[in-house]
Copies of this chain bind each other. A is one copy, B any other.
């Protein structure tokens, strides 16, 4: 257990946040929906279908990796809540990833990308894994060379962007356009937020009220129930992990932000196990228990825990309905991947 966060502001931050965000909600048993600290997810409107379609091809194309085997979808699998359901991901040559793969679903709603927020948006994020030696292990130049060698890709990029550049900027632009479509509206909880009182059960409602009343909502708020701030992992009680990630401080250089991570979304959380930046919590019950203790200084009873877990499962929305793209075949000029060299 070489890594441990030190609590720095016991309960103070939570209380402040609660006061700011949750106060009104705490009072009401059947709250006015407009005052809720959580808002429904809005469906995405596609404005440039050709760009989204190109982005979808790139999303599924393992030729953007050195091995020809790993695509965006390998670690953000759209059959599995946009995640890989592994503690940390498997990269090129079976390298062990440093951190749990966050879901791509609703990621356009996040204030920044990656657990430490080092990418300001989806476009900036998309370039990361392609060139990360531990992930897809390619280079932007080689990825672009591959795409340029394929006439059908050349034609599609030209159609979408109106020129013959076909550069990494266009590649990440198209991937981001596809990712922006990956929102999950119509969760039962959203229906409840919109006024359908029968959309969630009494237990789920109790769970939501406890979620608000005990302070979870201080960080997990907004339409994405998270993704809007960085918070210290281990606010009240140290978080013990063997994962060396230091979070926000690695980006800002500010030691006060050590172990600060982007608050993950709770949307579709039933599908995105295991939990936390280190993937250490296998189940929602475990995650809720740990969060209660280390972030809120509160030990939830089994019943309370079950109520919150029930609420969390009401956050599973309509999963994107994805028709697999047919990828344009490599041409005779396309360099063949050599995954074992």
Tell yes or no: A81 within 8 A of B by CB.
yes
Give the chain B neighbours of A337 by CB distance below 8 A.
Answer: 86
Considering only residues 29-82 of chain A, those with a C-beta below 8 Å from chain B are: 60-63, 67-69, 74, 77-81
**Segment with Cβ contacts to B, from A15-23, A90-98, A116-124, A186-194:** A90-98
In whole angstroms, what is the CA distance A79 to B81 when docked?
Answer: 20
- Is residue A145 within 8 Å, beta carbon to beta carbon, of the partner chain? no
A86 to B273, CA, bound (A): 31
The size class of the interface chain A forms with chain B is 35 or more
Q: Across the interface, which residues of B come within 8 angstroms of A74, CB to CB? A: 69
Chain B positions within 8 Å of A270 at CB level: 329
Tell me which residues across on chain B come within 8 A of A326, comparing CB atoms.
79, 319
Residue of B nearest to A323 (CB): B323
A86→B69 contact, CB < 8 A: yes
Contacts of A69 in B (CB 8 A): 74, 84, 86, 90
With A86-B69, A273-B329, A322-B324 given, is the CB distance from A282 to B336 under 8 Å?
A: yes
Q: Please give the count of copies of this chain that the complex contains.
A: 2
In the complex, whether A198 has a CB less than 8 A from a CB of chain B is no
**If the complex has contacts A90-B69, A94-B94, A336-B282, are A330 and B85 also in contact, measured as CB distance less than 8 A?**
yes
Enumerate chain B residues within 8 angstroms of A323, measured Cβ to Cβ: 321-324
Residues from 288 to 333 in A contacting B, C-beta threshold 8 Å:
319, 321-327, 329-330, 332
- Residue A150 lies at the interface, judged by CB distance under 8 Å to chain B: no
Q: Which of A69, A78, A271: most chain B CB closer than 10 A?
A: A69
C-beta contact mask, A256-276 vs B, less than 8 Å → 1, else 0?
000000000000001101100
Considering only CB atoms, which chain B residue lies closest to A81 in the complex? B329
CA A321 to CA B325, docked complex, whole Å: 8
Residue A339 interfacial (CB < 8 Å): yes
Task: Determine if A271 and B329 form an interchain contact, defined as CB atoms under 8 angstroms apart.
Answer: yes
Which of B68, B282, B340 is close to A85, meaning CB atoms less than 8 Å apart? B68
The answer, yes or no, to whether A283 is at the interface (CB within 8 Å) is yes
- CB neighbours (8 Å) of A90 from chain B are 67, 69, 339
